[in-house]
């Protein structure tokens, strides 16, 4: 697995040795980021990569001009893998990691920037998306109405989305569905 484009383009990322983490493929990541680039939302963006796994989504965002990324996972091994990938790319000054369970209410720490763009790639089949979106909203993790969320899920999933989020794009790539959401809250 590699960074598709940008300042880290072509650089390889460490991947898990087991099947506990399901990294987003280069092809799907490329499609996601082409869509985001056309909307001009990456330059200087504050990013959250929730259920970060390898950190590939957040690192791709940093490679393409995002200002900062906070990587979050509840699994220590995933977070350690992400930290190694951050270090390999020399991105430690524009990234941080947090060990948190986003399926439960979690308030944003004061020293964590609010995000303009959040990636959520929860483990398939565990119904973690809706609780995580509630946590984003209730914990004040997103910066403003109009912030974007990119969701990766299995093709057949039809999650209930909390009220402050509206789908504005949906794409299917093989067995993977990508949803782009607007955050429409006035917190």
Predicted confidence at residue 103, as pLDDT, reads 93
Predicted confidence at residue 157, as pLDDT, reads 86
Query: What are the backbone dihedrals phi and psi of residue 165, each rounded to the nearest 5 degrees, phi first?
Result: -115, 135
Predicted confidence at residue 104, as pLDDT, reads 93
Mean pLDDT by 10 residues, the chain (187 residues): 92 82 78 91 96 95 97 95 97 97 94 95 90 94 89 88 91 92 79
Predicted confidence at residue 26, as pLDDT, reads 79
Question: Do residues 47 and 72 touch, judged by C-beta distance below 8 A?
Answer: no
Query: What are the backbone dihedrals phi and psi of residue 153, each rounded to the nearest 5 degrees, phi first?
Result: -150, 170
Predicted confidence at residue 25, as pLDDT, reads 77
Q: Indicate the DSSP class of residue 159.
A: P
Predicted confidence at residue 44, as pLDDT, reads 94
End-to-end distance of the chain based on CA atoms, in angstroms? Answer: 38
Predicted confidence at residue 186, as pLDDT, reads 62
User: Which residue ranges form the domains of the chain, and what is each CATH number?
Assistant: 26-183 (3.40.50.150)
Question: Do residues 179 and 167 touch, judged by C-beta distance below 8 A?
Answer: yes
Predicted confidence at residue 21, as pLDDT, reads 66
Count CB-CB contacts under 10 A for residue 137.
Answer: 17
Predicted confidence at residue 101, as pLDDT, reads 96
Predicted confidence at residue 163, as pLDDT, reads 86
DSSP-derived secondary structure for 48-117:
EEET-TT-HHHHHHHHTT-SEEEEEES-HHHHHHHHHHHHHHT-GGGEEEEE--TTS--PPPTTSPPBSE
Taking the C-alpha atoms of residue 52 and residue 75, their distance in angstroms, rounded to an integer, is 9
DSSP-derived secondary structure for 82-100:
HHHHHHHHT-GGGEEEEE-
Question: Do residues 1 and 12 touch, judged by C-beta distance below 8 A?
Answer: yes
Question: Do residues 55 and 33 touch, judged by C-beta distance below 8 A?
Answer: no
Taking the C-alpha atoms of residue 34 and residue 177, their distance in angstroms, rounded to an integer, is 16
Taking the C-alpha atoms of residue 36 and residue 57, their distance in angstroms, rounded to an integer, is 12
The dihedral through the CA atoms of 24, 103, 167, 137 has a sign that is: negative
């Amino acid at each position: 697995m590699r960074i598709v484009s940008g300042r880290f383009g072509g650089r390889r990322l460490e991947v898990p040795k087991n099947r506990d983490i399901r990294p987003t493929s280069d092809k799907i990541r490329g499609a996601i980021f082409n869509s985001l680039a056309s909307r001009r939302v990456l330059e200087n963006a504050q990013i959250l990569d929730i259920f970060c796994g390898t950190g590939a989504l957040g690192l791709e965002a940093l490679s393409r001009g995002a200002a900062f990324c906070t990587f979050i996972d509840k699994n220590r091994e995933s977070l350690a893998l992400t930290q190694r990938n951050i270090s390999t790319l020399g991105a430690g000054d524009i990234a941080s990691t947090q060990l948190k369970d986003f399926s439960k209410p979690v308030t944003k720490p004061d020293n964590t920037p609010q995000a303009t763009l959040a990636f959520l790639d929860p483990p398939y089949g565990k119904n973690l998306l809706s609780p995580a979106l509630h946590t984003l909203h209730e914990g004040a993790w997103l910066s403003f109405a109009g912030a974007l969320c990119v969701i990766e899920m299995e093709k057949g999933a039809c999650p209930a989305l909390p009220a402050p989020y509206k789908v504005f794009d949906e794409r299917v790539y093989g067995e993977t569905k990508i949803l782009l959401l607007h955050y429409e809250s006035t917190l």
